Amino acid sequence: MAKIKTKFICQNCGYENYKWMGKCPSCNEWNSFVEEIDEKKSKIKKDLKDIKIENIKDVKIDEEDRFKTDIGEMDRVLGGGIVKGSLILVGGDPGIGKSTLLIQIANNLSNKGLKVLYVSGEESVKQIKIRAERIKLESKELYILSETNLDIIKGIIENVSPDILIIDSIQTVYNPDISSAPGSVGQVREGTHILMNIAKRKNIATFLVGHVTKEGSIAGPRVLEHMVDTVLYFEGEAYHSYRILRAIKNRFGSTNEIGMFEMRDIGLVEVQNPSKILISERPRDTSGTIVVPSLEGTRPMLVELQSLVSPTMFGMPRRVAMGIDYNRVILMIAVLEKKVGYNMESYDVYANIVGGLKTKEPAIDLGIISSIASSYRDIPIDSKLTIVGEVGLTGEVRRVNFIEKRIKEAENLGFNTAIVPKANIKDLNKTKGINIIGVNNVLEALDIVLGG
């Protein structure tokens, strides 16, 4: 009798080894190796005569190759809609709203006459119906299935031939030909590969819901993200009703776009004007707060930056950054110390973007410096003033991209003064409803913001 060969696979990154290891040499995760049977698959030979190649100039594309979801924020993130035959991976924390968003998309598409198959391995058919009634959905061509066996799911797909397929979630689906448990690296990889082949062969747009690890990344091997066409992350905080949909990978559009939603009792509702909501509760006549026109993809958004500078109680001051790149905050503090002359070594500095947003763009540098300086000197900043600019280590203020879009958004929300890099002044000749002030360095900006 032939001896069964086994191998050990890291459940975090997919690294394989024929001996158990306490620490994965690839991702440095401890106790992540699980034993699985090493199964050799038979090779399938194809006749080269049956394989056709096409010249790229002969391939025709029309607008019908995309499905509009009628959810503007979703279409924006996807690059204009769902591409036929694409494979989309949606990740996010438990309870964040992944299933709710996908059932709403399924409802909208089915009402357009498209055939949608929603396969759930975590909920029964009745539970899905209860959720659909709670958010008041009425679908015409939406078919639901509660199943985890991949062979049965494949058979149903062949019989139904849907235009849209939703698998919720990929970690619950298992292939009976593989001996490992559902959710293991082997099962997830094999299941995704089979569903990808079906999606491409039958031209079915497929959504896969993926669980996330405690670090916030999608559970399973990194190869999973390489196999799919689009990777979407659904972000949000448990104590906030707002959710942000962000594309990490997108073969059919930009990865810089974001979509914003609000979770209500009727489901997820689009936030058409995020800027207005993010600054609606901004305090007045308080030091340490300023509004900065940030840019997410092609969308300008006004975000409120808050800083708190307080004397430290320990020998080493604390530096805390929420929603901002920690290293940029440290650099801005160093510029304040060296170029402005502020003594920050005996003060704790806390910096935060209100609303749970995250941004790493350097255009908010001048806003970070202004809010820290305002809190340090305890001088409130004019509530109708906004500021934007990248700051270099010598204290100079550098130009930023898409300045006209940023200032136009500030003008629409009632701001009357904008401090911008002097190099961007020539790009703002058409702006009339807002006073534009150009600055060359940090000292000039702080003189205006804090009144000298």
Residues that constitute the known binding site for ATP = 92-99
Query: Which two three-digit tokens encode residue 99?
Result: 């299933």
Under 8 Å between Cβ of 263 and 98: no
| Nearest-angstrom CA–CA distance, 193 and 3 | 28
The sign of the torsion formed by the CA atoms of 435, 438, 444, 449 equals positive
Could you list the residues known to form a binding site, using ranges. 92-99
Give, in order, the Cα–Cα distances in Å from 106 to each of 129, 162, 165, 253, 274. Answer: 13, 11, 9, 21, 25
Nearest to 194 by CA among 157, 150, 240: 150
| Nearest-angstrom CA–CA distance, 366 and 398 | 10
Under 8 Å between Cβ of 231 and 112: no
| Nearest-angstrom CA–CA distance, 98 and 105 | 11
| Nearest-angstrom CA–CA distance, 210 and 388 | 37
Under 8 Å between Cβ of 259 and 230: no
Q: What is the CA radius of gyration of the chain?
A: 26
